[in-house]
Structure 1
Amino acid sequence: MGGFKKFLMRGNLVELAVAVVVGATFSGLVQALVADLVTPLIGAVTGGKNPDFSKYSFTVNGSVFKYGDFVNHLLAFLIIAAVIYWLVVMPMTRLISFFDRDKASTEKQCPECLSDIPVGARRCAFCTAELAMVPADDRPPA
């Protein structure tokens, strides 16, 4: 039982639980944004008398297709995806590129297989090609 308690109290699991709760709340907020603001705005711009897309449907042989509800969910998905991209993916990409910038000074590319190898290597660890030694004066500072 102690192992299970230790597993539950690990930082990653607690952070994941918080992220799920925040994500669910954010999803509800975006659903409300789409239903209460974006959809009426689209209806006003297009001149529709009923801007509530969730009520839009058509019937074929007695089957009802509620395409308006799908439009609401599609708009919510696109907004959530855009927010995640701009507020999570872009900053993380910049942060990772910031830390990878220093990596270039400690590694070089093998001219044969183009893999990353240490600057001081005399032989490639991947293709075993012999490499020309770079004089100590020409090496980037460590």
Structure 2
Amino acid sequence: MGGFKKFLLRGNIVDLAVAVIVGATFSGLVQALVADLITPLIGAVTGGRKPDFADYSFTVNGSQFRYGDFVNHLISFLVIAAVVYWLIVVPVQRLVHLFERDRAATTKQCPECLSEIPAEARRCAHCTARLVPESEKPRPTA
């Protein structure tokens, strides 16, 4: 019983549970955004009617192929993917780029072991190589 308790209380299991819950909630949020804002916007552009292909089908040798529902789901997927990309992925990428740019100004790479170290470090914490801080390096003369 102690092993099971330890398994349940490990950090990655709890993190995974939180991620699943937040992901499910976020999924509902994105679906509501698409259903309540994006789809009516598409309807307004296409003449005031909501796009619906559910009744589309064709028949081959007496077998009916209902492809309209698939088309509805495909369009829904593409719209959701576009909304997620433009409203989440692009802003997060910009934010990460800003953090990396700020971090690059305060860190440098060790010339010996290529680890990331503070820009003013005099010795690498990873390989203990002696370093000259940027502020003490001689400037080239013209």
With the shorter chain as reference, the TM-score category is 0.5 to 0.7
Tell whether 2:30 aligns with 1:18.
no
How far off its partner does 1:72 sit? 0.8
Tell whether 2:102 aligns with 1:99.
no
Amino acid at match of 2:101: R
* 1:107–1:117 Cα contact (<8 Å) kept: yes
* Cα distance in 2 for residues equivalent to 1:23 and 1:52: 25
Query: Which residue is 1:125 aligned to?
Result: none
Amino acid at match of 1:72: N
Stretch of structure 1 that moved more, 89-98 or 17-26: 17-26
Of the two structures, which has the highest relative contact order with CA contacts closer than 8 Å and spacing of 6 or more? 1
* Cα distance in 2 for residues equivalent to 1:8 and 1:135: 42
RMSD of aligned C-alpha atoms?
4.4
* Cα distance in 2 for residues equivalent to 1:79 and 1:22: 18
> Which ranges in structure 2 are unaligned for 5 or more consecutive residues?
123-133
**TM-score computed with the length of structure 1 as normaliser:** 0.57
* Cα distance in 1 for residues equivalent to 2:10 and 2:53: 45
* Deviation per residue, 1:64-89 (Å, 9 max, x gap): 22222122111110121112112221
* Deviation per residue, 1:36-74 (Å, 9 max, x gap): 7478667747xx9xx631011111122222222122111
Query: Which residue is 1:7 aligned to?
Result: 10
**Identity of aligned pairs, percent?**
36
Query: Which residue is 1:67 aligned to?
Result: 67
How far off its partner does 1:6 sit? 0.2
How far off its partner does 1:117 sit? 7.2
* Cα distance in 1 for residues equivalent to 2:62 and 2:84: 40
* Cα distance in 1 for residues equivalent to 2:45 and 2:55: 14
* 1:8–1:14 Cα contact (<8 Å) kept: no
* 1:53–1:72 Cα contact (<8 Å) kept: yes
* Cα distance in 1 for residues equivalent to 2:43 and 2:8: 49
* Cα distance in 2 for residues equivalent to 1:75 and 1:99: 35
Query: Which residue is 1:56 aligned to?
Result: 56
* Deviation per residue, 1:7-53 (Å, 9 max, x gap): 3885422321213321442465367559x7478667747xx9xx631
Give the number of equivalent residue pairs: 123
